[in-house]
Chains A and B, each alone.
Chain A
């Protein structure tokens, strides 16, 4: 199998390298990819949408359908992970570890039908519990608000600088995953409950599709944001810029919630009890 794979890879590689002789050279401004549609985007984007970042404008406006279904794919991936891995709360008695915070003594409680939730002097720990790491926890606690602030900046400033819903959403999701890694999964889940995460994921897609449907209701094409001008009380060109921001927020929500959703399901094997 290894030799067969090597032969296939080398043969395919040779064929592909043979075809590169027809390709335009590096950085050629008159290559076919840069001559047909892209000059229109570069030259007309600013006057048509008033968004300086062409990538954002093409992503959310000119190719709005593509991005909408891309967001749906993300949502579908989150749902797929959920249905594959999530297990309902088990009925059999559980075994849990509790650590007395003052003395550092650990109790293993077996065959517990009802687990008391409010134990002031005890904290619940994972079975593979690593010793309390003060530095990591403190640094992460200090950093996470700034990471989230930066994520919001990336989403909101996507019109003028590299950024947008996908990038900001991933950073926002990473901040919650950092919380789950540096503390434990339960702490992160207390901040953003599983149900809320799922709802946010769906709400993100709904904001995107709903904006498109709103444009349809206002008498223009689906995802033609200039229809929003009458609602936002701005001229149609600025309305397209605002419409892009609205769908970027939807994309950001969906991506953030899906990243957290996938991480939670995979790291805890769908049990949500103990994560990485």
Chain B
């Protein structure tokens, strides 16, 4: 493939241009790791749920950036009013961005909302039971029983 080989064997100036060229992935990975850190390290259940949502957002941004094409427009075919494409000029794939990641992420966003709802419901149930959302306090109460 014509993509650049691995970062470590490149000289320094090439490394910097490579980072600049792929900066979008670095942003998503940073965002994703913020979410992962929140899921692992935070003590509060709601903060863990927020971390899960940050993680999902990073994945959504990653997919959307995969679908981008330079100089292309949104995947809605122009000058088409239900004439089945007859009479209009041929549609070229290079003029429109990739619609597939958008479709996948459209459903992923809604599933993210649904999982958020269920997660909040579970957190609410835990709070009703233990009067706390802090993980260590809940574990202490479980051990005492």
Contacts and interface: CB of A to CB of B under 8 A. Distances in A.
Interface residues of B, number: 71
A134 interface: no
A77 B68 contact: no
12 contacts: A5-B40, A9-B36, A28-B69, A29-B72, A46-B84, A50-B82, A55-B99, A80-B118, A84-B118, A167-B106, A262-B117, A269-B128
A182 interface: no
Residue among B24, B30, B114 having the largest count of chain A Cβ atoms under 10 Å: B114
Interface of B: 3-8, 18, 21-26, 29-30, 32-34, 36-37, 40-41, 65-72, 74-78, 80-86, 88, 90-94, 96, 98-103, 106-107, 109-111, 113-115, 117-118, 120-122, 124-125, 128
Contact of A20 (B22, B94, B101, B115): B22
A41 B29 contact: no
B100 A38 contact: yes
Contacts, number: 202
Contacts of B69: 27-29, 34
A18 B6 contact: yes
Contacts of B125: 84-85
A39 B91 CA distance: 10
Contacts of A9: 33-34, 36-37, 40
Nearest to A77: B114
Contacts of A50: 82-85
B76 A162 contact: yes
Task: For chain A, give the interface size range.
Answer: 35 or more
A42 B75 contact: yes
Contacts of A80: 118, 121
A175 interface: no
A47 B84 contact: yes
Residue among B21, B113, B125 having the largest count of chain A Cβ atoms under 10 Å: B113
B31 to A, nearest CB: 10
A12 B41 contact: no
The 9 closest A-B pairs by CB, nearest first: A5-B41, A77-B114, A5-B40, A27-B70, A39-B93, A262-B117, A47-B85, A20-B25, A13-B33
